[in-house]
Amino acid sequence: MFIIPTYIRFALIAAGVLGGIALWIAFGFWYGFPFLLAGLILFAGYVFLGTVGPAAKAVQVQDFDRGEKLLNLTLKPNWLYSANRAFYYMMRGTIALSRKDLNAAEGWLKQADAIDVPTANEKAMLKLQLAQIEANRKNFPAAKKYLKAAKETNVKLPQIVEQINMLDNALKQSGQVKAAQRMGKQGHQMMSRGGKRRRPKGK
């Protein structure tokens, strides 16, 4: 898919609108109309698609600072087409995760989760990221709930499937450790109670 770089889009919008108006004034409306129309179409694309495409390229190569700067150039996130709005929030969440800001990441990702994400890969990745946040907080029931939702997307992309399996194994191990710790604590309490028993007096 061809993506127009953000600053080139801005230059083309300015050239189309200003050039169209100049030609309209100098030679008449129909001379300037094609340029003006092209500029307006590019501007509409900017409003409803935002800078999600160029930002996604930066995030994919883990250039999170550039990705954030490009996302900041989006005019109004709420005006974006629903799929692009979901991707916008997901990338904001991914950037926050890269900076270990779990609260901000959760906020962005939950906004994306409230939108119908268009593909199984994105749905699974979104649920997986939310599961990882809850796992980092040691909120294992919530992490398992999100992980179950990720599995239910029936995602086929090997990289995502591998991450789901890794988190699944980690949560299972954490459950086993928690159960072992609970059993150990109970055993310790029983031993403590046993140790406090009075010895019978010798005759």
Summarised one tens digit per residue, pLDDT across range 24-68 is 999 998 999 999 999 999 999 999 999 999 999 999 999 999 999
Residue 127 lies in a domain: yes
Helix (H, G, I), strand (E, B) or coil at 178: helix
Q: Give the domain range for residue 125.
A: 120-186
Residue 13 lies in a domain: no
Number of structural domains (the chain) is 1
| Nearest CA among 65, 73, 132 for reference residue 95 | 65
Residue 156 lies in a domain: yes
Q: What pLDDT, on a 0 to 100 scale, did the predictor assign at position 176?
A: 54
* CA atoms of 1 and 15, how far apart (whole Å): 24
Q: Which pTM was predicted?
A: 0.81
Residue 150 lies in a domain: yes
Residue 35 lies in a domain: no
- Sequence-separated (6 or more) residues with CB below 8 Å from residue 142: 131, 134
* CA atoms of 28 and 50, how far apart (whole Å): 32
